[in-house]
C-alpha cells in the first residue's frame, strides 16, 4: 500500500509551496488508493506555534486535502531517543558534550561512501558523502534534529514515497545514510521542482508567497486554487487546463511531474479562478457571498431579499476572478451613499447634463413596462430625439448610477436598481433638484 506524508513545520502559515507539496502527496495517495499522512514537525519548541498548527490544518481542510492519520513529532521524543541509543550501542554514533551546555549531543558517524538515489521525478542522483560532516541526531537539550526525526518517522510510519520540495535534495543523502545505519528500507523519493516568482527568483510576498488563508480571504474558490497548484508542476495532457480534482485523481502519476521549475503567475491563477466562478452554481456562489456582504454591512444578518441578490450574482458572475470582486463591483446596489470615483466624475459628469437626465427620467416614467428591453428602447428614443451619440449619455448615466466607468450592461443596471433609485441618483446631477 502506498503511504505518503506531508510534514510541515508549524513555524509559519501554509504557503503556496507547502500547499503544492501537500497536494501532490494527497493526490498520489488518492490516485493509488493509498494513505495520506500528516506529520507536524514541531520539534523546535521555540519557533513552533499552536496558531500555525491550526492555520495549517484549516488551510489543508479548506483545500480539501483530508488526511488519514496525523502525528506530532513533539510527542515522539522517546522514539527518537531510543533509536539514537541503538546507534550509540552499535558504535555508529557517539556522544559529545558541548561547551557550556549540560546535556550531551548524540552524533552520527557519517560513513564515507557514494550514494545513488533514483528520484522518481529527477532520475538518478549521485552523492559523495565525503563532503558531509558527522551529523547531530539528538541535540544536547534532548531534541532531535530534522534529518533524524524525519528518517525515524518515515520508517515508523511506513512511508513508501517521500514527495517534497527540491529544497530538501541536500538532505536526501544524509537521510539515506541514516536509513541504512538503522536497517530500514529506503523509501522512494520524488523531489518537486522549485516554484519561482514571475520575475525569476524565489517567491516573494509580492509574487505569491502569501499564505493560503490569504488567498481564501482574497476570494479564490478552493477548487480553483487547487487546480492552479496542480498546473504548477503537472499537466493533465491534451492541453487541458481546467480539470476537476476527481478527474485529476484518475490521471495523476508522480513520475509525470515536471522536472523544470514552475512559475507562479497570479494572472494565470485569476484566469483559472474566473473559469471556476463563471461556471459555478449561482446558488453556491450566493452562499459564499452572503457572509462577505454581511461583513460589509451591505445586508443585515437576515431579512434580505435572497432572490434579488441571486439575480445580481448572475449579472456579475461571468466577469468575476475573485468572490470579493462581486462585493467591490456590485456595491452600488447595496449602499445608500454612492461613492463615485473622482476620475470618473471628472471625465463624465463635469459638464451639466441636467436637461438630458431630466428627459431620461421622463422617458422612464412613461414606459409601459419597466423591463430591460423597454428601458433600452426608451433610451434609444431619447438619444435619437436629442440627436446625440449613445455613448455621450451611456457613460455619464452609468457613473451617476454606479460610481464606476465599467460594469454590466447599463439597462440591466437600471432594471435591477429599480426606477426609484435610478431617478434619485440621476436627480442628484440635475441643477435645482439636489
Ligand atoms: N518539515 C520539513 C519542511 O517543512 C519537511 C521536509 C520533508 O518533507 O522531509 O520543510
Cell numbers representing residue 22 in the block: 501537500
* Distance, CA of 257 to CA of 297 (rounded, Å): 45
Does the structure show a pLDDT above 80 at 130?
yes
Number of H helices, E strands in the chain: 18, 12
Residue ranges of the alpha helices (H) in 234-281?
245-251, 266-279
Give the three cell numbers for residue 257.
511531474
Q: What is the pLDDT of residues 241-295, one digit of tens each?
A: 999 999 999 999 999 999 999 999 999 999 999 999 999 999 999 999 999 999 9
> What is the separation of C-alpha 405 from the centre of its chain, rounded to a whole number of angstroms?
30
The alpha carbon of 168 and the centre of ligand 1 are apart by a number of angstroms equal to 7
Quick one: pLDDT at residue 424? Answer: 97
**DSSP label at residue 309:** H
Mean pLDDT over 330-354 rounds to 95
User: Hey, is 318 helix, strand or coil?
Assistant: helix
Determine the distance separating the centroid of ligand 1 and the alpha carbon of 9, expressed in angstroms. Answer: 7
Give the Å distance between the CA of 174 and the centre of ligand 1.
14
The two beta strands, 188-192 and 161-165, are: parallel
Ligand 1: residue of 14, 16, 43, 146 to mutate (most ligand atoms within 8 A of CB) is 146
Which pLDDT score is estimated for 101?
A: 82
Q: Which three cell numbers stand for residue 196?
A: 519561482
Output the pLDDT for position 434. 61
Taking the centre of ligand 1 as the mean of its atom positions, its distance from the CA of residue 341, in whole angstroms, is 48
Write down the pTM of the prediction: 0.91
Q: How many CA within 13 A on the CB side of residue 404? A: 13
**Whole-number Å distance between alpha carbons of 385 and 387:** 5
Which domains, and CATH codes, for the chain?
3-73+194-272 (3.40.50.620), 76-192 (3.40.50.620), 282-333 (1.10.8), 342-427 (1.10.10.350)
Structure confidence at residue 14 (pLDDT) = 96
If you take atom 5 of ligand 1, which residue's CA is the nearest one? 7
Query: The C-alpha cell of 177 is what?
Result: 545514510
User: Which stretch of 6-15, 109-118, 192-201, 303-312 has the lowest confidence by average pLDDT?
Assistant: 192-201
The mean pLDDT value for 209-228 works out to 94
Convert the pLDDT of each residue in 142-166 to its tens digit: 999 999 999 999 999 999 999 999 9
Name the more confident of 231 and 205.
231
Which residue has a Cα nearest atom 6 of ligand 1?
7
> Ligand 1 centroid vs 219 CA: distance in angstroms?
28
pLDDT, mean over the chain:
96
Are 403 and 330 within 8 A, CB to CB? no
Share of residues in the chain with pLDDT > 90 (%): 93
**pLDDT band for position 209 (cuts 50, 70, 90):** low
Residue 164 Cβ < 6 Å to ligand 1: yes
> Is it the case that residue 433 has pLDDT exceeding 90?
no
Residue 380 has pLDDT above 80, yes or no: yes
Q: Return contacts of 84-89, CB within 8 angstroms, 24+ apart.
A: 84/137, 84/138, 84/144, 84/148, 86/182, 87/137, 87/181, 87/182
Residues in the chain: 434
Give the mean pLDDT of 65-94.
Answer: 98
Q: Is the pLDDT of residue 207 over 90?
A: no
Cβ count within 10 A of residue 210: 19
Q: What is the CA radius of gyration of the chain?
A: 30
C-alpha 13/C-alpha 292 separation (Å) is 23
- The predicted structure's pLDDT at residue 398: 98
Q: In angstroms, how far is the first alpha carbon of the chain from the final one? A: 75
The pLDDT of residue 102 is 86
Q: Are 173 and 125 in contact (CB under 8 A)?
A: no
pLDDT at position 161 is 98
Q: Say if residues 63 and 22 touch (Cβ distance below 8 Å).
A: yes
What contacts 60, CB < 8 A, 6 or more positions away?
Answer: 6, 14, 19, 22, 38, 67
Identify any residues that bridge with 71 across adjacent strands, giving them in sequence order: 39
Is the separation of the CB atoms in 86 and 77 below 8 Å?
A: no
68 SS3 class: coil
Amino acid at each position: 500500500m502506498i503511504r505518503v506524508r506531508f510534514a510541515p513545520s508549524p513555524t509559519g502559515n501554509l504557503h503556496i509551496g507547502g500547499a503544492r507539496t501537500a497536494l501532490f502527496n494527497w493526490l498520489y495517495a488518492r490516485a493509488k488508493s493509498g494513505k495520506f499522512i500528516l506529520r507536524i514537525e514541531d520539534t523546535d519548541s521555540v519557533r513552533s506555534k499552536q496558531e500555525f498548527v491550526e492555520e495549517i490544518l484549516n488551510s489543508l481542510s479548506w483545500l480539501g486535502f483530508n488526511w488519514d492519520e496525523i502525528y506530532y513529532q513533539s510527542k515522539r521524543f522517546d522514539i527518537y531517543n531510543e533509536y539514537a541509543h541503538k546507534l550509540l550501542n552499535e558504535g555508529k554514533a557517539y556522544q559529545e558534550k558541548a561547551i557550556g551546555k549540560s546535556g550531551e549531543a548524540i552524533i552520527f558517524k557519517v560513513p564515507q561512501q557514494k550514494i545513488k538515489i533514483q528520484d522518481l521525478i529527477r532520475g538518478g542522483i549521485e552523492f559523495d558523502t565525503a563532503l558531509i560532516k558527522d551529523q547531530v541526531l539528538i541535540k544536547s537539550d534532548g531534541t532531535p534534529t530534522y534529518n533524524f526525526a524525519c528518517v525515524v518517522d518515515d520508517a515508523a510510519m511506513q512511508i513508501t514515497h517521500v514527495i517534497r520540495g527540491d529544497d530538501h535534495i541536500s538532505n536526501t543523502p544524509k537521510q539515506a545514510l541514516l536509513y541504512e545505519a538503522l536497517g530500514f528500507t529506503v523509501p522512494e523519493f520524488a523531489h518537486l521542482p522549485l516554484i519561482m516568482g514571475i520575475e525569476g527568483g524565489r517567491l516573494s510576498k509580492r509574487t505569491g508567497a502569501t499564505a493560503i488563508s490569504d488567498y481564501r480571504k482574497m476570494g479564490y474558490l478552493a477548487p480553483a486554487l487547487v487546480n492552479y497548484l496542480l498546473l504548477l508542476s503537472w499537466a493533465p495532457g491534451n492541453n487541458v487546463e481546467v480539470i476537476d480534482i476527481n478527474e485529476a485523481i484518475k490521471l495523476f502519476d508522480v513520475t509525470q511531474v515536471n522536472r523544470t521549475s514552475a512559475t507562479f503567475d497570479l494572472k494565470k491563477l485569476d484566469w483559472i479562478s474566473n473559469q471556476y466562478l463563471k461556471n459555478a452554481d449561482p446558488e453556491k456562489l450566493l452562499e459564499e457571498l452572503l457572509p462577505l456582504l454581511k461583513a460589509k454591512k451591505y445586508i443585515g444578518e437576515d431579512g434580505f431579499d435572497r432572490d434579488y441578490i441571486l439575480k445580481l450574482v448572475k449579472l456579475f458572475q461571468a466577469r468575476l476572478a475573485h468572490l470579493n470582486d462581486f462585493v467591490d463591483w456590485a456595491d452600488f446596489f447595496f449602499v445608500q451613499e454612492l461613492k463615485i470615483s473622482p476620475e470618473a466624475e471628472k471625465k463624465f459628469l463635469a459638464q451639466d447634463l441636467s436637461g438630458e437626465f431630466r428627459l431620461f427620467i421622463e422617458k422612464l416614467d412613461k414606459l409601459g413596462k419597466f423591463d430591460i428591453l423597454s428601458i433600452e428602447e426608451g433610451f434609444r428614443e431619447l438619444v435619437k430625439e436629442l440627436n446625440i451619440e449613445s455613448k455621450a449619455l451611456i457613460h455619464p448615466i452609468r457613473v451617476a448610477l454606479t460610481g464606476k466607468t465599467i460594469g454590466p450592461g447599463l439597462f440591466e443596471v437600471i432594471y435591477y436598481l429599480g426606477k426609484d433609485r435610478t431617478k434619485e441618483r440621476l436627480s442628484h446631477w440635475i441643477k435645482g433638484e439636489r
